[in-house]
Structure 1
Amino acid sequence: MVALRALMIAVCLLGATPTMAAESSAFRGACLTKAEQRAAVAAHRAVPLAEVIKGLRAKGHRGEVVRVRLCRRGEGLDYVLTLLARNGKVISLTVDAANGELMNGR
């Protein structure tokens, strides 16, 4: 089971799933650097990531967060999260960074 989990995490990090490939192509080149992310949170243009994760857990989204990006969408920002569920399923979620509201999830 540990080997399967390690394999799934590796697949997530490599972006080998079709869902993740489609998701990443939508945001390619538009994601913020770590310094830009800190500045966006400090300027209150994005809620802190901990609040986003806490909100997702409260709405029943369980799993290990394996990747998070903060990306531009028009004039706003979105968190793009990849989670690995306990059953091995890879879940991609998009959250509006301004208010922490879930926009979509697969």
Structure 2
Amino acid sequence: MPVYFFVLLTTLLTSCSNDASSKKFNVLWIIIDDQSPWHSVYGNKLVSTPNIDKLASEGVLFKRAYSESPVCSPSRSAIITGSHAIRLGTHDHRSSRTPDNQIFLPEEF
């Protein structure tokens, strides 16, 4: 019995690691105004987008993506901050200062 306990304890102690906080995310964030699924990766025959196609084949391809707002600046604000455009005051293209305690997406990475 003590041998099993020693093996279990050794396994538990050596398997614990604190490296999670030092790992960086591997994210390529492409954000373009008026982006649409008019890429060949989505089946479009009129547009050739080989670089986007290659990125999609090696990463994640969204088939059901949604936008927070129907226009560009509120959508960008929502994506960058993770907050609704109405909360930020950008819902109708009007500028507003972000709250002092707002955390932006790049800061999370």
What's the TM-score bracket when you normalise by the shorter of the two chains? under 0.3
Which structure has the highest strand share of the two? 1
> Which of the two has higher C-alpha Rg?
2
TM-score, normalising length: structure 1? 0.21
- Whose relative contact order is higher, 1 or 2, with alpha carbons under 8 Å and at least 6 apart? 1
Which structure has the highest helix share of the two? 2
